[in-house]
């Protein structure tokens, strides 16, 4: 997979040189390129923004500069992703779908956002998705780009050491939050590990984990309970 990220703050993306994503890049599992939008400017001040039509506070990112960048980076099979607080929710299902694609291009906005004609223009050429990572507002798209790249990259074959660890995560195929996890020591701060986890009885452990996942989901995310797919619970041995 190739991922291009376009930003005016390249240093925001340096965490992608680290840990699993960094190792995946070095191993050739992910071709990630970070670009400075200002490289497509031609004026002395390398200007990427201007005042908004219709008035109002702040500045808007210019479509002409973005157009030069995206014309160069987008090929026909690319998927243009534009982080924005006004986008559709980015979820684990979104990450799973994107992990099967060949080329993602992330356009990181700043200021009051990118001129709306950019997304409109490229919809005639490539898939364009404006997405939100949550109901809060950041100062730009770079953090959202970090979220998307990590959520997608970890699903690529070979990136996570043990693919089994992807199966029972929160928001997995069964749609549940993950059960609580424990490790040594068996007692800490006067708190003990649940006996069932020390029993060596795998069926009981699986049942306990299913029950805990359901309880946690009901308590913390009742909205997810409504969407639960019982068939999926059966598949993942999370049914009764």
Ligand X SMILES: OB(O)c1ccc2cc[nH]c2c1
Interface ranges with ligand X (CB under 6 A): 83-85, 109-110, 113, 132-133, 137-141, 144
**CB of residue 215 vs ligand X: minimum separation in angstroms?**
31
Closer CB to ligand X, 42 or 139, in the complex: 139
Q: Looking at beta carbons only, is 24 or 70 nearer to ligand X?
A: 70
Distance of closest approach, residue 157 Cβ to ligand X, in angstroms: 28
**Cis peptide bond upstream of 17, omega within 30:** no
- Paired tokens of 119: 């997304």
CB of 86 to ligand X, least distance (A): 9
Nearer CB in complex with ligand X: 24/145: 145
* Distance in Å, CB of 132 to ligand X, minimum: 6
Nearer to ligand X, 114 or 238 (CB): 114
Minimum CB distance to ligand X, residue 114 (Å): 7
HEC sequence for 32-77: EEEEEHHHHCCCCCCCCEECCCCCCCCCEECHHHHHHHHHHHCCCC
Six-digit token string for 52: 């908004």
Helices 142-153 and 19-26 pack at an angle, to 10 degrees, of 70
* Closer residue to ligand X in complex, CB, 141/172: 141
Distances (CA, A) of 107 to 33, 82, 114, 183, 200: 12, 5, 9, 41, 50
CA distance 1 to 78: 11
């Amino acid at each position: 997979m190739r991922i291009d990220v376009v930003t005016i703050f390249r240093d925001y993306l340096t965490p992608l040189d680290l840990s699993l994503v960094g190792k995946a890049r070095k191993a050739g599992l992910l071709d990630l390129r970070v670009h400075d939008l200002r490289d497509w400017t031609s004026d002395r001040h390398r200007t990427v923004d201007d005042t908004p039509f219709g008035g109002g506070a702040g500045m808007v990112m210019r479509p002409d500069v973005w157009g030069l960048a995206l014309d160069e980076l987008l090929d026909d099979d690319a998927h243009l992703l534009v982080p924005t607080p006004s986008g559709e929710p980015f979820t684990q299902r979104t990450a799973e779908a994107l992990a099967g694609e060949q080329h993602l291009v992330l356009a990181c906005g700043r200021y009051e956002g990118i001129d709306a004609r950019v997304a409109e223009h490229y919809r005639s050429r490539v898939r364009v998705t404006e997405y939100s990572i949550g109901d809060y507002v950041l100062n730009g798209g770079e953090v959202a780009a970090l979220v998307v790249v990590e959520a997608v990259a970890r699903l690529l074959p070979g990136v996570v050491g043990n693919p089994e660890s992807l199966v029972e995560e929160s928001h997995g195929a069964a749609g549940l939050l993950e059960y609580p996890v424990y490790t040594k020591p068996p007692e800490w701060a006067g708190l003990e590990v649940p006996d069932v986890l020390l029993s060596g009885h795998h069926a009981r452990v699986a049942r306990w984990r299913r029950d805990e996942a359901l309880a946690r989901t009901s308590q913390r995310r009742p909205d997810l309970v409504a969407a639960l797919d019982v068939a999926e619970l059966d598949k993942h041995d999370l049914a009764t």
